[in-house]
Amino acid sequence: MMSAKKLVRSVFDFEDEFIETIAEVPEKEPEAWAPEKPLRVAGVGHPRVDGYARTTGDARFAVDVQLPRMTLGRVLRSPVPHARIRKIDISEAEKVPGVLGIMTCANAPKIRWYRNSFLFDPHIRYEGDEVAFVVAETEVALEEALRRIHVEYEELPFVLEAEEAMKPNAPRLFKNGNIRDGKPRVYQRGDVEKGFAEADAVVEDTYRTQVVHHAPLEPHVCVVNWEGDRLTIWESTQATFRVQQGLANILKIPLNKIRVINYFMGAGFGSKLGIEKHTVMAALMAKRLGRPVKVVTPRKDEFLA
């Protein structure tokens, strides 16, 4: 007669997704490692599997990808934290030799992003928000075109503290308020009130910590290329399949038409876990121009946006 297996079910929250796992509990506890038994891993030096490639410079990163007729893309970002765009004039920027195309909220497809925002949105919600995307032949042309784009902003009130942003009369970034889903997400285990009642002392205070940035050595990078209806992306990402799925959802194309390649990565620390706006912008412009587009995010943009 077969004995029933003992299973343990775990549910945990990761990046706003609830993930469930079920594991079988072994009938017998594994034997403890004897003190005299030699260790093969712990305490023993092992070369990294990618160590030679990285130290010799043989490792290939997304920024190293070079394709025929490849162009360069970069984002123009808002210098103000909260505003509405009244007018964007790209006429002078388009005259710069080497500039191939400029995309803004005035000429880009209306692609939804998070909540009720868009890929290119006339409502600016933070300093560094995306205003325009320029594609050019050279870095010099890119920088000159970005300088020549004239944007007229209607500046709006803003707050700097989370407590102020949660107040009912705070400047709204979204139609349904600043709190996601309209209310805080509460995690609760056990009888909290009973715990407070039985505690010898209750200490209440507001605790703050310093701002921490991921600051990976390698910035965000992508190279986008269309071959007919097939899209290939070389991306510095921690989530290859999220990039693929995100592009499929946004561009309305099948997953089997999208290939995402991730070579070596110069760290991410959680900052490269999803689809980025600049990758979608590059895909749109590469399709429009019929040429590959490479985006390397400047270090300032890494910290700002």
What's the CATH number where 233 sits? 3.30.365.10
For a pLDDT cut of 70, what percent of the chain falls above it? 97
Q: What is the pLDDT of residue 1?
A: 54
Cα separations (Å) of 275 from 10, 240, 246? 28, 9, 6
> Is 130 part of any domain?
yes
Strand partners, 196: none
Q: What is the pLDDT of residue 60?
A: 95
> Is 202 part of any domain?
no
Predicted model pTM: 0.83
Backbone angles phi, psi at 259, to 5 degrees: -120, 125
Nearest to 250 by CA among 73, 106, 119, 101: 119
> Is 296 part of any domain?
yes
250's CB contacts (< 8 A; 6+ apart) are 111, 119, 275, 280
Cβ pair 296, 68 in contact under 8 A: no
245's CB contacts (< 8 A; 6+ apart) are 255, 275
> Is 196 part of any domain?
no
In the predicted structure, residue 59 carries a pLDDT above the cut 60 = yes
> Is 40 part of any domain?
no
More confident residue, 36 or 245: 245
> Is 16 part of any domain?
no
Q: Domain tally for the chain?
A: 1
What DSSP string describes 22-69?
EEEEPSSPPPPPPTTSPPSSTTS----TTHHHHHHT----GGG---TT
> Is 113 part of any domain?
yes
> Is 18 part of any domain?
no
Question: Which residues constitute the domain of residue 139?
Answer: 62-157+215-304
More confident residue, 255 or 48: 255
In the predicted structure, residue 240 carries a pLDDT above the cut 60 = yes
Which tokens is 36 given? Answer: 């005299």
Cβ pair 231, 205 in contact under 8 A: no
107's CB contacts (< 8 A; 6+ apart) are none
Strand partners, 75: 133
pLDDT-based confidence at 56, cuts 50/70/90? very high
Give the pLDDT confidence of 266-280 residue by residue, as tens digits: 999 999 999 999 999
